[in-house]
Amino acid sequence: MSDARSRILRRLGESDTRGSRAPPDVPVRRFDWDPAESLQRFQARLGAARGEVHRVGADWPQRIHALLRAKGGNNLLYGPAGPHGSALEQGWPDPGAARLIPYREPVEIRREALFKSTNAGFTSCRGAIAETGSLILWPTPQEPRLLSLVPPIHFVLLDAAELCPTFHELLIRQNWQAGMPGNALLISGPSKSADIEQTLAYGVHGPKSLVVLVCEALCC
């Protein structure tokens, strides 16, 4: 080890890392939005980023089926053991027109089908932020990240009760400090990227289409 490196490491070891400064007093944004206004603002924000928002009821599987067919898709990848897997299966209207594909095999086995012939993926979500038009996903083994990342269309079912005005309010309401996942995702629209000439392209690193179904009577 060189003398210079030894001196640097010794100084780091001798330094007081506890710090003497108090944390900055950053004001927390709060908005007195009722659920109707929060939903309106969420829809406007996400729509500005080319995301779709549809208000649905207990017929949400049929609505997904209709939207999928309208977009030219004929299959939907989902997690059968996810929070809404059973309800999706029970409410799916016409498997002949569009079939459900359960995600069970490891990605190494179904890689080719996943990337070449899967039209859409379906996931639940943890909640949403009205201020920014963002969805929050906590991927799990039952609903892995690939469901929302690889297929060109991503369908998301959002419980309207989990829509908060701000991220801070959602953190407090859901008590994130009690335990967080290894991977939390904030999604604010379809995948997009721009080149050096600022030409915007969609679907470069993920789905070209993001479709959110907001259910105000989610009981599953």
**Chain segment 150-160, per-residue pLDDT in tens:** 999 999 999 99
pLDDT digit string (tens) for 19-72?
A: 667 767 778 888 899 999 999 999 999 999 999 999 999 999 999 999 999 999
Based on the number of CB atoms within 10 Å of its own CB, is 218 exposed (0-12), middle (13-18) or buried (19 or more)? buried
Answer for the pair 134, 186: CB distance below 8 angstroms, yes or no: yes
Residue 108 within a domain: yes
Mean pLDDT over 170-193 rounds to 90
SS3 102: strand
Residue 98 within a domain: yes
Q: What is the per-residue pLDDT for 54?
A: 97
Q: What is the rounded average pLDDT for all residues in the chain?
A: 90
| Reported confidence tier of residue 202, pLDDT bands at 50, 70, 90 | confident
Answer for the pair 136, 170: CB distance below 8 angstroms, yes or no: yes
- Is 220's pLDDT higher than 50? no
Residue 197 within a domain: no
Question: To which residue do tokens 């297929």 refer?
Answer: 151
Answer for the pair 152, 117: CB distance below 8 angstroms, yes or no: no
Residue 28 within a domain: no
Number of domains in the chain: 1
Q: What is the per-residue pLDDT for 79?
A: 96
Considering only CA atoms, give the Rg of the chain.
21
Q: What is the per-residue pLDDT for 160?
A: 96
- Is 219's pLDDT higher than 80? no
SS3 199: coil
Residue 20 within a domain: no
For residue 180, what is the domain's CATH number? 3.40.50.10420
| Residues 218, 168: Cα–Cα separation, whole Å | 24
| Residues 18, 16: Cα–Cα separation, whole Å | 6
pLDDT digit string (tens) for 96-120?
A: 999 999 998 888 888 888 889 999 9
Residue 72 within a domain: yes
Task: Please give the residue range of the domain that contains residue 83.
Answer: 37-191+205-215
Q: What is the per-residue pLDDT for 108?
A: 84
Residue 26 within a domain: no
